Amino acid sequence: MQHLQQLVIEAIETSHFPETPTNLYDPIRYILTLGGKRVRPVLTLMAAELFGMQEMTEIIPAAKAVEFFHNFSLIHDDLMDKAPLRRGKTTVHEKWDANIAILSGDGLLVKAYEEISKCNPIYLPATLRILSKVAMEVCEGQQLDMDYESRTSLGMDEYLEMIRLKTSVLLGGALQLGAILSGANEQQQQLIYDFGENVGLAFQLQDDILDAYGDSDTFGKIVGGDIMINKKTFLLVKLMEVITEDDVAAMRSLLDSTIDSTPTKVADMLALYDKYQVKKSADELKDLYTQRAFEKMDALDVPNERKQALLLLANNLLVRQQ
C-alpha cells in the first residue's frame, strides 16, 4: 500500500493548475495539500493490481479523479456543516469565503471528470457511468444527512442508507474503477464494489463507536463530539429505537441541553448507551458488514495472494483506535 500511496501523492503533487484566477485555484491546491491517507485513490490502484494490472500509469488518472471528487465533496460538506477545521487546518470557506469554497469545489469536480477522460478510451463509458453514479449518490447522502438534522426521530434503515450513500459508495466505486480499467468482468466488478461498500459501512459504524468510546489521545477528534452536537449516529438512532418510556424524558432533556448548560451531557448520554447496550449492537452490526465484505472477497476469482493487500488494508481500517 505504501508504494501505491506514494504514486498517488506524487501524482497529486505534480498536478498542474493555472496560476489565475488565484481565488479559484489556490483553494484547490490548498485542500489537496492537507494530506490524509489517500485511501480512496489507493483503492483504485489496489483493485487494478488485484485483477492483474501491472502498469499503474494507466490507472493513475482514475485514482486522481477519485481523490479530486472526494476533496470536492469535503469542501462543500465543510461549508454546509460550518466546520472550522479539516485535518487540523482551516477549512476552505473559513480561509477564503463561502463563494470561493463553492466555486473551487465545483472546479475540483470538473477536474475529476477531466482526469477520467484520460483513461483508456475502451473503458471510458463504463468509468464515466460509475463516477457519475457514485457522485450523485454521495450528493444524495449529504442531502439526507442535512434533512435528518431537524428530525426528532430517525429509523435505523434510514440511517444506514444515509451512511451507505454518503460514505460507502465512494469506496466501492473507487475499487470498481480499478476493476474496470484492468479488464475485470461485470460479475467481478460487482463483487469488488460490494466488498468496498460493506467495508465502508463497517468503517462508519466504527467511527460512530470511536467518537463515543475512543481514546482521546489517539482518536484525533474530541471524544463525545457527536453527543455534544446531537449528531445522529448509529448509537443515538439505536437508543431512540430501544429506549423505554421510563428514560425517554431523560434522553429528551439531554438532547435539548448543551455542554454549557449540562456539563455532564456526554457522561449522562453514555450512561444511557450503556444501559441499553447500544455499543454492543453497533459492534455486532459492524462485524456483520465486515463478514459480508470478506465473503465478497472470498468469492472473487483471483489468486488468494493477490487478495492479501486489500484484506490487510480492510483490517487496518476496521481495527483501529483513531
Q: Where are the domains of the chain?
A: 1-136, 185-322
Using the Cα atoms of residue 20, residue 21, residue 26 and residue 27 in order, give the sign of their dihedral: negative
Nine-digit cell string for 279 = 455499543
% of residues, the chain, pLDDT over 70: 97
With cell 493555472, the residue in question is 18
CB within 8 A of 170, min separation 6: which ones?
40, 66, 69, 70, 134, 138, 200
- Share of residues in the chain with pLDDT > 90 (%): 87
Those residues with Cβ within 8 angstroms of residue 240's Cβ, 6 or more apart along the chain or in another chain: 153, 154, 251
Is the pLDDT at 280 greater than 70, yes or no?
A: yes
Q: 131, 69 in Cβ contact below 8 A?
A: yes
Please say if the pLDDT value at position 146 is more than 50: yes
Q: What is the pLDDT of residue 293?
A: 97
Topology of domain 1-136, CATH: Farnesyl Diphosphate Synthase (1.10.600)
Rg (CA), the chain: 20
Confidence band of 30 (pLDDT split at 50, 70, 90): very high
87 φ/ψ sector (left φ>0, alpha ψ -120 to 50, else beta): left
DSSP 224: T
Least confident of 57-71, 93-107, 126-140, 205-219: 205-219
> Which of 264-272's residues contact partners 24+ apart within 8 Å by CB, and which partners?
265/227, 265/228, 266/223, 266/224, 266/227, 266/228, 269/227, 270/212, 270/213, 270/224, 270/227, 272/239, 272/243, 272/247
Residue 198: Cβ within 10 Å count: 25
Reply yes or no on whether the pLDDT at 319 is more than 90: no
Average pLDDT over residues 48-66: 95
Residue 322's pLDDT band (cuts 50, 70, 90)? very low
Closest CA to 44 of 146, 132, 116: 116
Contacts (Cβ under 8 Å, ≥6 apart) of 162: 141, 144, 145, 148
The superfamily CATH assigns to domain 185-322 is Farnesyl Diphosphate Synthase (1.10.600.10)
pTM attached to this predicted model: 0.94
User: 307 pLDDT exceeds 60?
Assistant: yes
pLDDT at position 220 over 70: no
Let me know: does 236 contact 151? Beta carbons within 8 Å. Answer: no
Q: What is the pLDDT of residue 318?
A: 85
CB distance 127 to 181 below 8 Å = yes
SS3 of residue 86 by DSSP:
strand
Average pLDDT, the chain: 94
Q: Say how far apart CA 272 and CA 245 lie, in whole Å.
A: 13
**pLDDT per residue as tens digits for the range 147-166:** 998 888 899 999 999 999 99
Neighbours of 117 (CB within 10 A): 13
How crowded is the C-beta side of 50, counted as CA atoms within 13 Å? 32
Tell me the average pLDDT across 52-77.
96
Query: How far is it, in rounded angstroms, from Cα 144 to Cα 165?
Result: 9
Asked whether residue 305 carries a pLDDT value surpassing 60, the answer given is yes
Tens-digit pLDDT profile for residues 105-126: 999 999 999 999 999 999 999 9
Domain pair 1-136 / 185-322, same fold: yes
pLDDT above 70 for 321: no
Name the one residue in this structure whose C-alpha cell is 441499553: 276
Over residues 166-213, the pLDDT tens digits come to 999 999 999 999 999 999 999 999 999 999 999 999 999 999 999 999
